[in-house]
Protein backbone atom coordinates (compact mmCIF):
# COMPACT_ATOMS: atom_id res chain seq x y z
CA UNK A 1 0.00 0.00 0.00
CA UNK A 2 2.77 2.38 1.02
CA UNK A 3 4.60 1.45 -2.17
CA UNK A 4 1.57 2.47 -4.30
CA UNK A 5 1.07 5.81 -2.52
CA UNK A 6 4.79 6.50 -2.85
CA UNK A 7 4.64 5.86 -6.59
CA UNK A 8 1.53 8.02 -6.90
CA UNK A 9 3.13 10.83 -4.92
CA UNK A 10 6.23 10.65 -7.05
CA UNK A 11 4.19 10.82 -10.24
CA UNK A 12 2.27 13.85 -8.97
CA UNK A 13 5.56 15.48 -7.91
CA UNK A 14 7.04 15.03 -11.39
CA UNK A 15 3.88 16.36 -13.07
CA UNK A 16 3.96 19.48 -10.87
CA UNK A 17 7.71 19.96 -11.43
CA UNK A 18 7.40 19.64 -15.22
CA UNK A 19 4.52 22.16 -15.24
CA UNK A 20 6.72 24.47 -13.14
CA UNK A 21 9.65 24.05 -15.52
CA UNK A 22 7.37 24.74 -18.52
CA UNK A 23 6.17 27.95 -16.86
CA UNK A 24 9.75 29.03 -16.08
CA UNK A 25 10.83 28.37 -19.69
CA UNK A 26 7.79 30.22 -21.06
CA UNK A 27 8.86 33.18 -18.91
CA UNK A 28 12.22 33.02 -20.67
CA UNK A 29 10.87 32.69 -24.22
CA UNK A 30 7.43 34.27 -24.49
CA UNK A 31 7.32 38.02 -24.84
CA UNK A 32 10.47 38.48 -22.76
CA UNK A 33 11.69 42.11 -23.03
CA UNK A 34 15.33 40.97 -22.62
CA UNK A 35 15.19 38.15 -25.18
CA UNK A 36 17.02 39.95 -27.99
CA UNK A 37 19.77 41.41 -25.80
CA UNK A 38 21.49 38.22 -24.65
CA UNK A 39 22.94 40.35 -21.90
CA UNK A 40 23.80 39.55 -18.27
CA UNK A 41 20.17 39.57 -17.13
CA UNK A 42 18.93 37.14 -19.76
CA UNK A 43 21.87 34.72 -19.42
CA UNK A 44 21.63 34.73 -15.59
CA UNK A 45 17.88 34.17 -15.83
CA UNK A 46 18.44 31.17 -18.17
CA UNK A 47 21.15 29.68 -15.93
CA UNK A 48 18.94 30.01 -12.84
CA UNK A 49 16.02 28.31 -14.63
CA UNK A 50 18.34 25.49 -15.64
CA UNK A 51 19.86 24.97 -12.16
CA UNK A 52 16.48 25.13 -10.43
CA UNK A 53 14.94 22.63 -12.88
CA UNK A 54 17.81 20.17 -12.41
CA UNK A 55 17.61 20.48 -8.62
CA UNK A 56 13.84 19.83 -8.62
CA UNK A 57 14.25 16.83 -10.91
CA UNK A 58 17.06 15.37 -8.79
CA UNK A 59 15.23 15.79 -5.49
CA UNK A 60 13.11 12.57 -5.40
CA UNK A 61 16.23 10.45 -5.89
CA UNK A 62 18.35 12.41 -3.48
CA UNK A 63 16.30 13.71 -0.57
CA UNK A 64 19.12 15.33 1.39
CA UNK A 65 19.03 18.44 3.56
CA UNK A 66 21.79 19.96 1.42
CA UNK A 67 19.75 19.61 -1.76
CA UNK A 68 16.73 21.15 -0.02
CA UNK A 69 18.86 24.08 1.12
CA UNK A 70 20.28 24.47 -2.40
CA UNK A 71 16.79 24.48 -3.91
CA UNK A 72 15.66 27.10 -1.43
CA UNK A 73 18.66 29.38 -2.02
CA UNK A 74 18.47 29.05 -5.83
CA UNK A 75 14.70 29.67 -5.75
CA UNK A 76 15.24 32.79 -3.60
CA UNK A 77 17.96 34.09 -5.92
CA UNK A 78 15.72 33.29 -8.91
CA UNK A 79 12.72 35.18 -7.46
CA UNK A 80 14.80 38.22 -6.49
CA UNK A 81 16.57 38.14 -9.88
CA UNK A 82 13.17 38.20 -11.66
CA UNK A 83 12.17 41.16 -9.51
CA UNK A 84 15.36 43.05 -10.35
CA UNK A 85 15.65 42.09 -14.03
CA UNK A 86 12.00 42.80 -14.94
CA UNK A 87 10.97 45.89 -12.96
CA UNK A 88 7.98 46.53 -15.24
CA UNK A 89 6.33 43.26 -14.23
CA UNK A 90 5.07 44.25 -10.78
CA UNK A 91 3.59 40.79 -10.08
CA UNK A 92 7.07 39.30 -9.49
CA UNK A 93 6.77 40.96 -6.06
CA UNK A 94 4.24 38.22 -5.21
CA UNK A 95 6.95 35.57 -5.64
CA UNK A 96 9.10 37.31 -3.03
CA UNK A 97 6.28 36.91 -0.54
CA UNK A 98 5.89 33.23 -1.34
CA UNK A 99 9.51 32.03 -1.02
CA UNK A 100 9.21 30.53 2.54
CA UNK A 101 6.19 28.49 1.40
CA UNK A 102 8.58 26.28 -0.55
CA UNK A 103 9.98 24.69 2.62
CA UNK A 104 6.45 23.80 3.76
CA UNK A 105 6.37 21.41 0.81
CA UNK A 106 9.55 19.81 2.07
CA UNK A 107 8.17 19.44 5.64
CA UNK A 108 11.40 20.83 7.03
CA UNK A 109 10.96 23.26 9.93
CA UNK A 110 14.62 24.35 10.19
CA UNK A 111 14.63 25.23 6.51
CA UNK A 112 11.39 27.17 6.97
CA UNK A 113 12.77 29.41 9.72
CA UNK A 114 15.96 29.90 7.73
CA UNK A 115 14.02 30.94 4.62
CA UNK A 116 11.82 33.30 6.66
CA UNK A 117 14.94 35.00 8.02
CA UNK A 118 16.69 35.08 4.65
CA UNK A 119 13.61 36.58 3.03
CA UNK A 120 13.33 39.26 5.72
CA UNK A 121 16.97 40.28 5.19
CA UNK A 122 16.70 40.33 1.39
CA UNK A 123 13.47 42.36 1.39
CA UNK A 124 15.16 44.99 3.60
CA UNK A 125 17.86 45.35 0.96
CA UNK A 126 15.25 45.62 -1.79
CA UNK A 127 13.26 48.29 0.02
CA UNK A 128 16.48 50.15 0.90
CA UNK A 129 17.58 50.01 -2.74
CA UNK A 130 14.20 51.25 -4.05
CA UNK A 131 13.87 54.10 -1.55
CA UNK A 132 17.48 55.33 -1.49
CA UNK A 133 18.98 54.51 -4.90
CA UNK A 134 16.17 53.86 -7.35
CA UNK A 135 13.86 56.50 -5.80
CA UNK A 136 10.84 55.20 -7.66
CA UNK A 137 12.37 55.30 -11.12
CA UNK A 138 11.92 51.61 -11.95
CA UNK A 139 9.59 50.68 -9.10
CA UNK A 140 7.12 53.53 -8.85
CA UNK A 141 4.38 51.20 -7.51
CA UNK A 142 6.47 50.45 -4.42
CA UNK A 143 7.88 53.92 -3.96
CA UNK A 144 4.36 55.42 -4.09
CA UNK A 145 3.35 53.58 -0.92
CA UNK A 146 6.41 51.97 0.72
CA UNK A 147 4.77 51.50 4.13
CA UNK A 148 1.63 49.86 2.69
CA UNK A 149 3.74 47.52 0.58
CA UNK A 150 5.97 46.66 3.50
CA UNK A 151 2.97 45.89 5.74
CA UNK A 152 1.53 43.67 3.02
CA UNK A 153 4.83 41.82 2.80
CA UNK A 154 4.95 41.30 6.57
CA UNK A 155 1.31 40.15 6.56
CA UNK A 156 2.06 37.61 3.82
CA UNK A 157 4.95 36.20 5.89
CA UNK A 158 2.72 35.90 8.96
CA UNK A 159 0.03 34.10 6.95
CA UNK A 160 2.63 31.72 5.57
CA UNK A 161 3.93 31.17 9.11
CA UNK A 162 0.44 30.19 10.31
CA UNK A 163 -0.07 27.84 7.39
CA UNK A 164 3.30 26.29 8.16
CA UNK A 165 2.58 26.02 11.88
CA UNK A 166 -0.82 24.38 11.42
CA UNK A 167 0.25 21.93 8.72
CA UNK A 168 3.36 21.07 10.69
CA UNK A 169 1.35 20.33 13.83
CA UNK A 170 -1.12 18.21 11.91
CA UNK A 171 1.60 16.28 10.16
CA UNK A 172 3.44 15.67 13.41
CA UNK A 173 0.23 14.40 15.00
CA UNK A 174 -0.43 12.13 12.05
CA UNK A 175 3.10 10.82 12.23
CA UNK A 176 2.86 10.01 15.96
CA UNK A 177 -0.52 8.39 15.40
CA UNK A 178 0.91 6.28 12.59
CA UNK A 179 3.89 5.29 14.75
CA UNK A 180 1.57 4.36 17.63
CA UNK A 181 -0.50 2.13 15.37
CA UNK A 182 2.63 0.47 14.07
CA UNK A 183 3.88 0.01 17.61
CA UNK A 184 0.67 -1.58 18.87
CA UNK A 185 0.50 -3.83 15.81
CA UNK A 186 4.03 -4.98 16.54
CA UNK A 187 3.15 -5.55 20.21
CA UNK A 188 0.12 -7.59 19.20
CA UNK A 189 2.07 -9.89 16.92
CA UNK A 190 4.93 -10.27 19.39
CA UNK A 191 2.33 -10.99 22.08
CA UNK A 192 0.73 -13.72 20.02
CA UNK A 193 4.09 -15.17 19.10
CA UNK A 194 5.27 -15.09 22.70
CA UNK A 195 2.05 -16.80 23.82
CA UNK A 196 2.57 -19.59 21.31
CA UNK A 197 6.18 -20.03 22.41
CA UNK A 198 5.20 -19.93 26.09
CA UNK A 199 2.68 -22.67 25.52
CA UNK A 200 5.28 -24.85 23.79
CA UNK A 201 7.78 -24.33 26.61
CA UNK A 202 5.34 -25.38 29.31
CA UNK A 203 5.15 -29.02 28.20
CA UNK A 204 8.89 -29.84 28.34
CA UNK A 205 9.08 -27.96 31.64
CA UNK A 206 6.44 -30.23 33.14
CA UNK A 207 8.32 -33.34 31.99
CA UNK A 208 11.65 -32.12 33.41
CA UNK A 209 9.98 -31.14 36.67
CA UNK A 210 8.36 -34.57 36.95
CA UNK A 211 11.69 -36.34 36.63
CA UNK A 212 13.35 -34.01 39.10
CA UNK A 213 10.59 -34.74 41.61
CA UNK A 214 11.22 -38.48 41.12
CA UNK A 215 14.97 -38.01 41.65
CA UNK A 216 14.28 -35.91 44.72
CA UNK A 217 12.63 -38.94 46.29
CA UNK A 218 15.21 -41.45 45.06
CA UNK A 219 17.28 -42.68 48.02
CA UNK A 220 20.32 -43.48 45.86
CA UNK A 221 21.12 -39.75 45.62
CA UNK A 222 23.02 -37.96 48.36
CA UNK A 223 21.32 -35.23 50.39
CA UNK A 224 23.49 -32.61 48.70
CA UNK A 225 22.26 -33.72 45.27
CA UNK A 226 18.68 -33.73 46.49
CA UNK A 227 19.19 -30.13 47.63
CA UNK A 228 20.20 -29.29 44.08
CA UNK A 229 17.07 -30.96 42.74
CA UNK A 230 14.89 -28.96 45.11
CA UNK A 231 16.57 -25.79 43.88
CA UNK A 232 16.00 -26.80 40.26
CA UNK A 233 12.32 -27.57 40.95
CA UNK A 234 11.93 -24.19 42.64
CA UNK A 235 13.35 -22.41 39.61
CA UNK A 236 11.12 -24.42 37.27
CA UNK A 237 8.13 -23.45 39.42
CA UNK A 238 8.99 -19.80 38.96
CA UNK A 239 9.29 -20.31 35.21
CA UNK A 240 5.94 -22.09 35.14
CA UNK A 241 4.35 -19.29 37.12
CA UNK A 242 5.61 -16.67 34.66
CA UNK A 243 4.28 -18.69 31.76
CA UNK A 244 0.81 -19.28 33.22
CA UNK A 245 0.45 -15.61 34.14
CA UNK A 246 1.60 -14.68 30.70
CA UNK A 247 -0.81 -17.06 29.01
CA UNK A 248 -3.71 -15.73 31.04
CA UNK A 249 -3.15 -12.32 29.40
CA UNK A 250 -2.93 -13.71 25.90
CA UNK A 251 -6.08 -15.80 26.28
CA UNK A 252 -8.81 -14.77 23.82
CA UNK A 253 -11.67 -12.74 25.29
CA UNK A 254 -14.38 -15.06 23.99
CA UNK A 255 -13.97 -17.50 26.86
CA UNK A 256 -14.79 -14.86 29.42
CA UNK A 257 -18.39 -14.02 30.12
CA UNK A 258 -19.49 -10.93 31.96
CA UNK A 259 -21.86 -11.62 34.83
CA UNK A 260 -23.17 -10.01 37.98
CA UNK A 261 -20.50 -10.50 40.61
CA UNK A 262 -21.15 -10.11 44.32
CA UNK A 263 -17.97 -8.43 45.54
CA UNK A 264 -18.62 -9.56 49.11
CA UNK A 265 -18.69 -13.26 48.15
CA UNK A 266 -15.56 -13.01 46.00
CA UNK A 267 -13.66 -11.06 48.66
CA UNK A 268 -14.59 -13.69 51.27
CA UNK A 269 -13.29 -16.53 49.12
CA UNK A 270 -10.11 -14.63 48.14
CA UNK A 271 -9.26 -13.69 51.71
CA UNK A 272 -9.90 -17.27 52.84
CA UNK A 273 -7.60 -18.48 50.09
CA UNK A 274 -4.84 -16.05 51.01
CA UNK A 275 -5.30 -16.49 54.76
CA UNK A 276 -2.66 -19.22 55.05
CA UNK A 277 -0.33 -17.33 52.70
CA UNK A 278 -0.50 -14.35 55.06
CA UNK A 279 0.14 -16.51 58.10
CA UNK A 280 3.61 -17.37 56.71
CA UNK A 281 4.76 -14.00 58.02
CA UNK A 282 2.09 -13.64 60.61
CA UNK A 283 0.03 -11.22 58.52
CA UNK A 284 -3.71 -11.22 59.01
CA UNK A 285 -6.24 -9.97 56.49
CA UNK A 286 -9.14 -7.97 57.85
CA UNK A 287 -12.18 -7.75 55.61
CA UNK A 288 -14.91 -5.18 55.87
CA UNK A 289 -17.71 -4.95 53.31
CA UNK A 290 -20.65 -2.55 53.61
CA UNK A 291 -23.69 -2.04 51.43
CA UNK A 292 -24.74 -3.69 48.21
CA UNK A 293 -21.66 -4.31 46.12
CA UNK A 294 -22.46 -5.98 42.81
CA UNK A 295 -20.54 -5.26 39.65
CA UNK A 296 -20.52 -6.54 36.08
CA UNK A 297 -17.36 -8.53 35.54
CA UNK A 298 -16.03 -12.01 35.06
CA UNK A 299 -15.75 -13.81 38.41
CA UNK A 300 -12.51 -15.61 37.59
CA UNK A 301 -10.79 -12.49 36.35
CA UNK A 302 -12.10 -10.39 39.19
CA UNK A 303 -10.72 -12.99 41.62
CA UNK A 304 -7.39 -12.91 39.81
CA UNK A 305 -7.30 -9.13 40.19
CA UNK A 306 -7.94 -9.24 43.92
CA UNK A 307 -5.53 -12.11 44.52
CA UNK A 308 -2.74 -10.19 42.79
CA UNK A 309 -3.37 -6.99 44.73
CA UNK A 310 -3.83 -8.61 48.15
CA UNK A 311 -0.83 -10.88 47.56
CA UNK A 312 1.31 -7.83 46.79
CA UNK A 313 0.03 -6.15 49.96
CA UNK A 314 0.98 -9.20 52.06
CA UNK A 315 4.38 -9.44 50.41
CA UNK A 316 5.06 -5.75 51.11
CA UNK A 317 3.98 -6.01 54.77
CA UNK A 318 6.29 -6.38 57.73
CA UNK A 319 6.00 -9.42 59.97
CA UNK A 320 2.85 -9.26 62.09
CA UNK A 321 1.19 -6.37 60.20
CA UNK A 322 -2.46 -6.29 59.25
CA UNK A 323 -3.78 -5.97 55.71
CA UNK A 324 -7.12 -4.18 55.53
CA UNK A 325 -9.52 -4.95 52.71
CA UNK A 326 -12.66 -2.85 52.50
CA UNK A 327 -15.49 -2.57 49.99
CA UNK A 328 -18.45 -0.22 49.85
CA UNK A 329 -20.72 1.91 47.70
CA UNK A 330 -19.90 5.42 46.59
CA UNK A 331 -22.84 6.69 44.53
CA UNK A 332 -22.94 4.56 41.37
CA UNK A 333 -19.55 2.99 42.07
CA UNK A 334 -18.31 0.06 44.09
CA UNK A 335 -15.04 1.00 45.76
CA UNK A 336 -12.60 -1.63 46.97
CA UNK A 337 -9.55 -0.67 48.99
CA UNK A 338 -6.57 -2.83 49.89
CA UNK A 339 -4.47 -1.15 52.55
CA UNK A 340 -1.10 -2.34 53.80
CA UNK A 341 1.36 -0.74 56.24
CA UNK A 342 4.48 -2.15 54.63
CA UNK A 343 7.43 -0.88 52.64
CA UNK A 344 5.50 1.50 50.33
CA UNK A 345 6.63 2.79 46.96
CA UNK A 346 8.25 5.91 45.59
CA UNK A 347 6.51 7.96 42.86
CA UNK A 348 8.74 6.38 40.21
CA UNK A 349 7.89 2.90 41.43
CA UNK A 350 4.17 3.68 41.26
CA UNK A 351 4.65 5.03 37.74
CA UNK A 352 6.40 1.80 36.71
CA UNK A 353 3.55 -0.42 37.92
CA UNK A 354 1.99 -2.36 35.08
CA UNK A 355 5.18 -2.47 33.04
CA UNK A 356 5.72 -6.11 32.06
CA UNK A 357 8.42 -7.81 34.15
CA UNK A 358 8.81 -4.82 36.47
CA UNK A 359 9.45 -6.40 39.85
CA UNK A 360 11.59 -5.57 42.87
CA UNK A 361 11.19 -9.05 44.36
CA UNK A 362 13.83 -11.72 43.95
CA UNK A 363 11.17 -14.26 43.01
CA UNK A 364 8.69 -11.83 41.46
CA UNK A 365 7.39 -12.13 37.92
CA UNK A 366 6.42 -8.50 37.43
CA UNK A 367 3.32 -9.58 35.54
CA UNK A 368 0.74 -9.30 38.33
CA UNK A 369 0.09 -5.57 38.02
CA UNK A 370 0.00 -5.73 34.25
CA UNK A 371 -2.76 -8.34 34.47
CA UNK A 372 -4.59 -6.21 37.04
CA UNK A 373 -4.49 -3.14 34.79
CA UNK A 374 -5.85 -5.19 31.91
CA UNK A 375 -8.73 -6.59 33.96
CA UNK A 376 -9.67 -3.23 35.48
CA UNK A 377 -9.63 -1.66 32.03
CA UNK A 378 -11.71 -4.45 30.54
CA UNK A 379 -14.59 -3.94 32.99
CA UNK A 380 -14.45 -0.15 32.80
CA UNK A 381 -12.99 0.34 36.23
CA UNK A 382 -10.15 2.46 37.57
CA UNK A 383 -7.25 1.69 39.85
CA UNK A 384 -5.27 4.21 41.94
CA UNK A 385 -2.26 3.90 44.19
CA UNK A 386 -1.46 6.01 47.20
CA UNK A 387 1.85 5.09 48.67
CA UNK A 388 4.56 6.47 50.88
CA UNK A 389 7.89 4.78 51.50
CA UNK A 390 8.00 3.03 54.86
CA UNK A 391 4.35 3.77 55.65
CA UNK A 392 2.44 1.55 53.28
CA UNK A 393 0.20 1.54 50.27
CA UNK A 394 -3.50 2.00 49.61
CA UNK A 395 -4.81 0.54 46.38
CA UNK A 396 -8.25 1.87 45.40
CA UNK A 397 -10.24 0.05 42.75
CA UNK A 398 -13.53 1.44 41.43
CA UNK A 399 -16.05 -0.37 39.26
CA UNK A 400 -19.43 0.89 38.10
CA UNK A 401 -22.09 -0.79 40.19
CA UNK A 402 -24.52 -3.01 38.32
CA UNK A 403 -27.33 -1.91 40.67
CA UNK A 404 -27.16 1.87 40.47
CA UNK A 405 -29.65 3.42 42.89
P1 LIG B 1 5.52 -9.19 41.39
O2 LIG B 1 4.57 -9.21 42.54
O3 LIG B 1 5.67 -10.50 40.74
O4 LIG B 1 6.85 -8.56 41.73
P5 LIG B 1 3.68 -7.25 40.39
O6 LIG B 1 3.37 -6.75 39.00
O7 LIG B 1 2.56 -7.83 41.16
O8 LIG B 1 4.88 -8.24 40.26
O9 LIG B 1 4.27 -6.03 41.20
C10 LIG B 1 5.34 -5.28 40.66
C11 LIG B 1 6.11 -4.56 41.75
O12 LIG B 1 5.33 -3.51 42.29
C13 LIG B 1 6.49 -5.40 42.93
O14 LIG B 1 7.70 -6.09 42.70
C15 LIG B 1 6.62 -4.38 44.04
O16 LIG B 1 7.92 -3.84 44.04
C17 LIG B 1 5.65 -3.30 43.64
N18 LIG B 1 4.43 -3.36 44.46
C19 LIG B 1 3.22 -3.79 44.06
N20 LIG B 1 2.31 -3.67 45.05
C21 LIG B 1 2.96 -3.15 46.11
C22 LIG B 1 2.60 -2.79 47.47
N23 LIG B 1 1.36 -2.98 47.93
N24 LIG B 1 3.55 -2.26 48.25
C25 LIG B 1 4.81 -2.08 47.81
N26 LIG B 1 5.23 -2.40 46.56
C27 LIG B 1 4.32 -2.93 45.72
MG1 LIG C 1 2.54 -9.54 42.53
pLDDT tens-digit series, residues 345-396: 999 899 889 887 788 888 787 888 988 988 898 899 999 999 999 999 999 9
Domain boundaries, the chain: 7-144, 183-253, 255-400
Average pLDDT over residues 178-184: 77
pTM (2 d.p.)? 0.52
User: Residue 354: what pLDDT?
Assistant: 84
Residue 113 has pLDDT above 90, yes or no: yes
CA-proximal residue: ligand 1, atom 13 (nearest) = 359
Average pLDDT over residues 161-181: 87
Q: Which residues are close to ligand 2, an ion, with C-beta < 5 A?
A: 312, 368
CA-proximal residue: ligand 1, atom 25 (nearest) = 344
Residue 326 β-bridge partners: 288, 337
CA-proximal residue: ligand 1, atom 11 (nearest) = 359
Cα of 291 vs centre of ligand 2, distance in Å, is: 29
Task: Please enumerate, as own/partner, the contacts of 51-54 that have beta carbons within 8 Å and a separation of 24 or more.
Answer: 52/24, 52/78, 53/17, 53/21, 53/24
Mutate to test the pocket of ligand 1, among 243, 344, 355, 369 (most ligand atoms within 8 A of CB): 369
Ligand index nearest the alpha carbon of residue 350: 1
Closest CA to 273 of 252, 260, 257, 287: 287
CA-proximal residue: ligand 1, atom 14 (nearest) = 359
Residue 313 or 89, more confident: 313
* Cα 110 to Cα 133: distance, rounded to the nearest angstrom: 34
Closest ligand 1 atom number to CA of residue 312 = 20
Closest CA to 262 of 299, 227, 237: 299
Q: What is the CATH number of domain 255-400?
A: 3.30.565.10
* Cα 95 to Cα 101: distance, rounded to the nearest angstrom: 10
pLDDT tens, residue by residue, 43-88: 999 999 999 999 999 998 888 899 999 999 999 999 999 999 999 8
pLDDT tens, residue by residue, 298-355: 888 898 899 999 999 999 999 999 999 999 999 899 999 999 999 999 998 998 898 8
CA-proximal residue: ligand 1, atom 23 (nearest) = 313
Closest ligand 1 atom number to CA of residue 392 = 24
CA-proximal residue: ligand 1, atom 2 (nearest) = 364
Q: Please compute, for residue 286, the number of CA atoms within 13 A of its CA located in the half-sphere on the CB side.
A: 8
Q: Where are the beta strands (DSSP E) in 132-278?
A: 259-262
User: Residue 2: what pLDDT?
Assistant: 47
Cα of 404 vs centre of ligand 2, distance in Å, is: 32
Task: List pocket residues of ligand 1, CB cut-off 6 Å.
Answer: 308, 312-313, 316, 340, 342-345, 353, 358-361, 364-369, 393
Cα of 13 vs centre of ligand 1, distance in Å, is: 55
CA-proximal residue: ligand 1, atom 7 (nearest) = 368
Residue 258 is classified by DSSP as P
Cα of 392 vs centre of ligand 2, distance in Å, is: 15
Average pLDDT over residues 151-171: 92
Amino acid sequence: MKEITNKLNKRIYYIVVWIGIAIMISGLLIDNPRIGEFGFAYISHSILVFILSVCFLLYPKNRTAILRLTILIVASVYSYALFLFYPDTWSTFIFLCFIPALSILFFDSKLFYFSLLLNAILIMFIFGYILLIDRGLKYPYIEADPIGNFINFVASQIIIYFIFYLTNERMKKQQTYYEQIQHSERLKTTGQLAAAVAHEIRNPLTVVKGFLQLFEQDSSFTDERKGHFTLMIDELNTAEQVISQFLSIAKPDKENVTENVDVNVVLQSVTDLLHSYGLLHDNRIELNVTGDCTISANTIEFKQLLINIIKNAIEASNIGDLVHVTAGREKEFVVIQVIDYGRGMSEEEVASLGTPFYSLKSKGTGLGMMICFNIVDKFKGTIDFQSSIGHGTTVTIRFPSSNPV
